[in-house]
Amino acid sequence: MSEALNPSDKTSSSAWGGFYKTLENPVNFFPENFIARIFLSKNPVQCLEHDFKGKRLLDIGCGHGRHIPFFESLGLQVDGLEVTDEQVKALQQTFPTLNFYKGKSASIPVADAQYDYLAAVNAIYYVDDLESGFEANIKECTRLLKSGGYFIFSMVGAEHSLIQNAHIENKYAQIQQDFLGFRNDTWLRPLWDKDELADLLPGLELQKTGEVKETLDGFVRHIYYCMAKKL
């Protein structure tokens, strides 16, 4: 897809920067419930061994760094990825001792097999090129993981308000009614059905899947969260 067709570089990504500027208060640095469950839970389901100290995690599409204090509190050595210079600069100011890369899920400027964990919270499904598509994002994540490493991420479900009235092409959705207002025309790959997931992850073994569907004042948040292991 040409840049002209996908405005994400010019609008969405820089708009995220503006959005995050409103979140400087420490209260906005809280982990998503599914991240806390996957990393911390012992009962009734333990997902990961709790031996995080000194292991490396890349937070893909880390936003303003909401999950970084949580990951660091587990002893993880955290790097982050965001899409614009403006976002990377802001992250570097908030976390001056950490490394942040500028890049996109399909093209991450890091050598192979560097990470024990990859996290992508509400971020991995954005695609800039419908031809290489979501597959390119997963291929890149698989490349960065060490053998035996884990990829923990979320996908938008079919009932999510973000894709209400979206333009659909093949299995991709182009946002038309963004509740934040700045992602219209951006493409993403929803998970239309949970059973699609395993086939979308070549080179990875799907180990856990959760589903969250909640409605607040007419807004539907429908996500799947997933944990996959590099074979």
Ligand X SMILES: C[S@@+](CC[C@H](N)C(=O)[O-])C[C@H]1O[C@@H](n2cnc3c(N)ncnc32)[C@H](O)[C@@H]1O
Binding interface with ligand X (CB under 6 A): 8, 13, 16, 60-63, 66, 82-83, 104-105, 121-123, 126, 128
| Positive/negative CA dihedral, 177, 68, 101, 123 | negative
Determine the Cα–Cα distance for residues 87 and 20; give it in Å rounded to an integer: 9
Q: In whole angstroms, how close is the CB of 38 to ligand X at the nearest point?
A: 14
Smallest CA-to-CA distance from 113 within 143, 92, 89 is with 143
Determine the Cα–Cα distance for residues 51 and 186; give it in Å rounded to an integer: 38
Q: In whole angstroms, how close is the CB of 136 to ligand X at the nearest point?
A: 10
Residue 14 or 41 with smaller CB distance to ligand X? 14
Q: In whole angstroms, how close is the CB of 215 to ligand X at the nearest point?
A: 19
**142, 203 in Cβ contact below 8 A?**
yes
- The CA-atom distances, in angstroms, between 96 and each of 91, 99, 195 are 8, 8, 41
Q: In whole angstroms, how close is the CB of 43 to ligand X at the nearest point?
A: 25
Q: In whole angstroms, how close is the CB of 82 to ligand X at the nearest point?
A: 6
Q: Which amino acid is at 190?
A: P
Determine the Cα–Cα distance for residues 91 and 99; give it in Å rounded to an integer: 9
What is the chain's alpha carbon radius of gyration, rounded to the nearest angstrom?
A: 17
Report the residue closest to ligand X, judged by CB: 63
